[in-house]
Amino acid sequence: MVRMAIVVFTLFYALCCFAPCLAFEFDDCGSTLGKFTEVVISECSTSDEKCNFVRGTNATMSINFKPNKDISHIVARVYGILNILPVPFPLSQPDVCKDPNAGLKCPLHKDQEYHYMTMMSIKKNFPSVNVKIKWEFVNENNEKIVCIEFPAKVT
Ligand SMILES: *[C@@H]1O[C@H](CO)[C@@H](O)[C@H](O)[C@H]1NC(C)=O
């Protein structure tokens, strides 16, 4: 009986490991004035090993988040971390409150859920690399409203 249980257990883990071991998560890298509840990126599934960005395409990203304070100023900062070196990713409009396509109406109110949208151009001249992406929203005092980190590859 015990042996049977061990065999079943081992099989279960062996089978299970294929999918979950390859999956990734959107990690919280220190959100303090809020937290994110959902992140969706086009062509990117968390059941994959990494988020795949294809050069020459536009990726859309949406973030649902909830501030725990009223917020009137939001700067988006995106880095690609190569080894340990963070390389800033240029955003067309880092001032989120001034971005008409972001879908946010500032000031944001405490404990309400907001839905942010953006589009990133994955330029043809980007290097083809594995990179860790760090996506931050900070306020005027550089405090993190939301910080999201996830593994990606550019192909
Ligand atoms: C990506 O977006 C830019 C700006 O809106 C647009 O000019 C371009 O045609 C888009 N590229 C693709 C591949 O959809």
The answer to whether residue 9 sits within a structural domain is no
The answer to whether residue 115 sits within a structural domain is yes
Averages of pLDDT over each 10 residues, the chain, 155 residues = 62 57 91 97 91 94 97 96 89 92 95 95 91 96 97 94
CB of 101 within 6 A of ligand 1: the answer is no
CATH number at residue 129: 2.60.40.770
CB of 60 within 6 A of ligand 1: the answer is no
The answer to whether residue 111 sits within a structural domain is yes
**Predicted pLDDT of residue 22:** 79
Minimum-distance ligand 1 atom for the alpha carbon of 56:
13
The answer to whether residue 64 sits within a structural domain is yes
CA 143 – ligand 1 centroid, Å: 32
Q: Which domain holds residue 122?
A: 29-154
The answer to whether residue 53 sits within a structural domain is yes
Q: What is the CA radius of gyration of the chain?
A: 19
The answer to whether residue 122 sits within a structural domain is yes
Q: How far is CA 107 from the centre of its chain?
A: 23
User: Domain total for the chain?
Assistant: 1
